[in-house]
Amino acid sequence: MKRKILFDLCRHYIRGTAKEAIVANKRIMLCILTHSVIKGCGFADGSVYISTRMLKHMYDKKPAEEFDFLIDNAHKIIKYPTHVYKNRDGKRGDFCFVKEMGGIKYLCSIEVQKNGHELEVATAFRIRKENYLNNYELLWSWRDDDPSS
């Protein structure tokens, strides 16, 4: 159901817009994190939101096939990450949720909102460099199907 809502949001507000055009600022709940991820990362709440502002950023900056893949799979990357890292200073977002799908690693950067409870997707992309995460602090990961922190 969420996937269709996200697809409709993109179709209505994002697709076909001119590069860097201003779009209506809409926001929907993308998913609720698993209890293991909430506990392992110390989140107050597990609701993750996504906005048209972020979608427009991705639409303008990513190749079409990558954008389409991320729209179809963002909820899986965020709800069922294999690793969660603390994001580095100077990067957008506070946490990096990483999942390998089809032999390719994908990252969704999550930002804790000013109220301290809500989480919002800041950006998402395919990791192109094998050593990209080398200097990131690992906060949580799945090991042998058992969550660990």
The pair of structure tokens assigned to 98 is 């990483």
Whole-model pTM over 0.75: yes
SS3 at position 142? strand
Q: Which residues pair with 59 in a beta bridge?
A: none
Q: What is the pLDDT confidence band of residue 145, given thresholds at 50, 70 and 90?
A: very low
Q: What is the pLDDT of residue 2?
A: 64
Give the mean pLDDT of the chain: 92
Contact 58, 76 (CB under 8 A): no
Sign of CA dihedral 59, 64, 66, 72: positive
**Confidence at 148, pLDDT banded by 50, 70, 90:** very low
Residue 3 binned pLDDT confidence (cut-offs 50, 70, 90): confident
